[in-house]
């Protein structure tokens, strides 16, 4: 509400994280279909069954997405083109996935996002 009305809001902790998430996703209702709703590495996108990526019901407000938990990018399956397309970013990432790289990101995160 504060974003829509252009009013100031003081938040901390989870309130701030939720505000970042809602601003980044434009209030979309995302259904993460990989990693027990925590996302996973981008290389596992090929292992997701196509049926899981399709909407559960016609007119469903939930968007089935693949979440890359290293960068926070999410991908939606385009049935017409038969590929995963980058759609947005949730504004946060999974810190354990980042720390598993040992601090050696070396430009992997700063790259042009491609379809899969």
Note the pLDDT tens digit of each residue in 27-73.
Answer: 778 888 998 888 888 888 988 888 888 876 666 678 889 998 888 88
Name the helix (H) or strand (E) containing 20.
helix 14-25
Above 50 in pLDDT, residue 110?
no
For the cut 80, the answer to whether the pLDDT of residue 100 exceeds it is no
Cα–Cα distance between 79 and 60 in angstroms, integer? 16
- Structural Rg of the chain based on CA atoms: 15
User: How many other CB atoms are there within 10 angstroms of residue 65's CB atom?
Assistant: 24
Is-above-0.85 flag for pTM? no
CB 91 within 8 A of CB 67: no
Sheet holding 62-67, edge to edge: 29-32, 62-67, 73-78, 83-89
Going by pLDDT thresholds of 50, 70 and 90, the confidence category of residue 1 is low
Per-residue pLDDT band at 85 (split at 50, 70, 90): very high
């Amino acid at each position: 509400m504060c974003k829509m009305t252009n009013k100031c809001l003081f938040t901390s902790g989870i309130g701030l994280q939720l505000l970042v998430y809602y601003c980044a996703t434009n209030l979309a209702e995302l259904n993460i279909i990989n990693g027990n709703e925590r996302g996973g590495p981008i290389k596992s996108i090929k292992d997701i069954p196509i049926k899981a990526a399709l909407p559960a019901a016609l007119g469903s407000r939930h968007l089935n997405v693949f979440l890359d938990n290293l960068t926070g990018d999410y991908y939606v399956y385009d049935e017409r083109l038969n590929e995963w397309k980058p759609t947005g970013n949730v504004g946060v990432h999974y810190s354990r996935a980042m720390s598993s790289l040992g601090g050696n990101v070396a430009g992997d995160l700063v790259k042009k996002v491609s379809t899969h």
